[in-house]
Amino acid sequence: MSFDYDLFVIGGGSGGVRAARVAAGETGAKVALAEEDRYGGTCVIRGCVPKKLMVFASEYADMVEDAKSYGWSIAPGKFDWTAFRGKLEAELDRLEGVYRNLLKNAGVESFDQRARLVDPHTVELADGSRKTARHILLATGGRPVKPDMPGAELGITSNDIFHLPELPKSILIVGGGYIACEFAGILNGLGVAVTQFYRGAQILRGFDGEARGLVSEEMCQRGIDLHLGTNILEMARDGDGIRVKATNGTERVFDQVMFATGRAANADDIGLEALGVARGRKGEVVVDEYSQTGVPSIHAIGDVTDRVNLTPVAIREGMAFVETVFKGNPTPVDHALIPTAIFTQPEMGTVGLSEEDAAEQEPIEVYATSFKPMQQSFAGRSDRVLMKLVVSKATRKVLGCHIVAPGAGEMIQLAGVAVKMGATKEDFDRTVAVHPTMSEEIVTMKAPVRSA
């Protein structure tokens, strides 16, 4: 049977675009891609990229104060949200253009409309036209969801935060994951009065306990009003604000409420059920280690599969899919030892196992140091940083590395190489320190602080 295309990709985010252009550009496959919204997906348009630019913007307030301590006579200015937002939107437009050009230059045909599955080899576009393909790749990503409660429609999500006409004077952020904590730091730095509710006992569940404890402490030090073990009961409009009733018995009015309480896979109403493509408990598309669904011609990558929801992972999954399906080189996706950064303030970088998870698995030693970094200490700040290695007693391998410090994301990328290679504590010890840096502490910790 002949098909219109060798590959039809649904979704123009980082994973889908990478798979489409590599399949077309490196294997000569005939490829099409459909995207109903903007090219670049969550990461480029409403996630990591605009978020990181907002992190940068929010950090300048402290820099002015610190500069005075270093002898500069600088007066603090006022943050202009409208000017920043204009530049941000222009940058996102530029990046979307880059993504469109990458596809065009690779010879991928693009359709700016929604697509759904009709059968294992056919997609139907919103205009009613149908296209056939030997292989179909779902890369439709995920979206933030609001909780089911009275007044939830009054709240915004991370998708909306970049487009606010003006910055609120006060905001309540609901959630304790990295998105909630990152935006708490950003908005606090931009001068918004930030309150954060999280129903759990500590923010950043799943990350190393000591590291998240320090992040939590430092967030509070910087003026974020963090309430743990607290959730919203109901919300109602109150003049220009939103009145919020909390489980801790308080009732307050905020200019804005932002939910960062979870995300869902974009897998509804695209025809999966009729084809027998299985979905998991949270609505994600179920795939095997080669990203293949139960229907052999249909694969899925990225957040829609809810494996490891990170942009570089979606890209890796897209590359592995092309290797497997178009290059005849079956490549399972490697989800082990993924380094990651959380752009909280302070920043956190992590790779491998938390102390808690490692201790459950085998006997370990923990090497850790917490100190005031020179730059901030000189400026009279009380900020603390943490460097931590979790080491196997039996093999001496470094099972986990956790850093809470300015620039932790940059540091963990390099530490991640060593951990992925299976470096031992003695490999770290043999490495000469780069002095004076914060990161030198990673190679100078001689005695364990505890064993488990």
List Cβ neighbours of 168 (8 Å cut-off, separation of 6 or more): 192, 254, 255, 256
Cross-strand pairs, 341: 349
Residues 171 and 194 sit within 8 Å (Cβ to Cβ): yes
Long-range contacts (CB closer than 8 Å, 24 or more residues apart) made by 209-213:
209/354, 209/355, 209/356, 210/355, 210/368, 210/386, 210/388, 210/402, 211/348, 211/350, 211/354, 211/386, 211/388, 211/402, 211/403, 211/404, 212/348
Give a yes or no: residue 376 inside a domain: yes
Q: How far is CA 271 from CA 114, 118, 134, 244, 297, in A?
A: 12, 6, 17, 39, 14
The mean predicted confidence, pLDDT, of the chain is 97
Kindly state whether residues 286 and 377 are assigned to the same domain.
no
Kindly state whether residues 203 and 251 are assigned to the same domain.
yes
pLDDT, residue 218, reads: 98
Place of tokens 């504590």: 425
Kindly state whether residues 321 and 226 are assigned to the same domain.
no
Kindly state whether residues 363 and 411 are assigned to the same domain.
yes
Give a yes or no: residue 418 inside a domain: yes
Residues 164 and 265 sit within 8 Å (Cβ to Cβ): no
Give a yes or no: residue 333 inside a domain: no
pLDDT (average), residues 235-255: 97
The model's confidence at residue 395, banded by pLDDT at 50, 70 and 90, is very high
435 is catalytic: yes
Give the closest residue to 139 by CA, choosing from 28, 25, 22. Answer: 22
Kindly state whether residues 102 and 30 are assigned to the same domain.
yes
pLDDT, residue 76, reads: 86
Cα separation of 265 and 278, whole Å? 13
pLDDT, residue 107, reads: 98
pLDDT tens digits for 11-65? 999 999 999 999 999 999 999 999 999 999 999 999 999 999 999 999 998 998 8
The model's confidence at residue 1, banded by pLDDT at 50, 70 and 90, is confident
SS3 call for 386:
strand
For residue 64, what are its two tokens?
Answer: 């002015």
Give a yes or no: residue 113 inside a domain: yes
pLDDT, residue 36, reads: 97
Domain harbouring 437, CATH code: 3.30.390.30
pLDDT tens digits for 329-353? 999 999 999 999 999 999 999 999 9
Cα separation of 436 and 440, whole Å? 7
**Of 135, 163, 335, 435, catalytic:** 435
pLDDT (average), residues 216-240: 97
Kindly state whether residues 421 and 365 are assigned to the same domain.
yes
Kindly state whether residues 251 and 271 are assigned to the same domain.
no
pLDDT, residue 174, reads: 98
pLDDT, residue 335, reads: 97
Kindly state whether residues 309 and 371 are assigned to the same domain.
no
Give a yes or no: residue 380 inside a domain: yes
As for how many domains the chain has, the answer is 3
Give a yes or no: residue 331 inside a domain: no
Cα separation of 299 and 9, whole Å? 10
Domain harbouring 13, CATH code: 3.50.50.60
pLDDT, residue 56, reads: 97
pLDDT (average), residues 92-101: 97
Kindly state whether residues 17 and 86 are assigned to the same domain.
yes
Kindly state whether residues 272 and 239 are assigned to the same domain.
no
Give a yes or no: residue 287 inside a domain: yes
Please give the span between the terminal C-alpha atoms of the chain, in angstroms, as a whole number: 61
pLDDT, residue 148, reads: 93
pLDDT, residue 78, reads: 92
Using the 3D structure, point to which of 326, 353, 379 is the last residue of a domain: 326
For 214, the domain range is 152-261
Kindly state whether residues 300 and 426 are assigned to the same domain.
no
Place of tokens 């303030």: 345
Cα separation of 126 and 266, whole Å? 16
Give a yes or no: residue 400 inside a domain: yes
Using the 3D structure, point to which of 207, 230, 261 is the last residue of a domain: 261
Does position 444 have pLDDT exceeding 90, yes or no?
yes
Kindly state whether residues 375 and 403 are assigned to the same domain.
yes
pLDDT (average), residues 200-207: 98
Residues 211 and 404 sit within 8 Å (Cβ to Cβ): yes
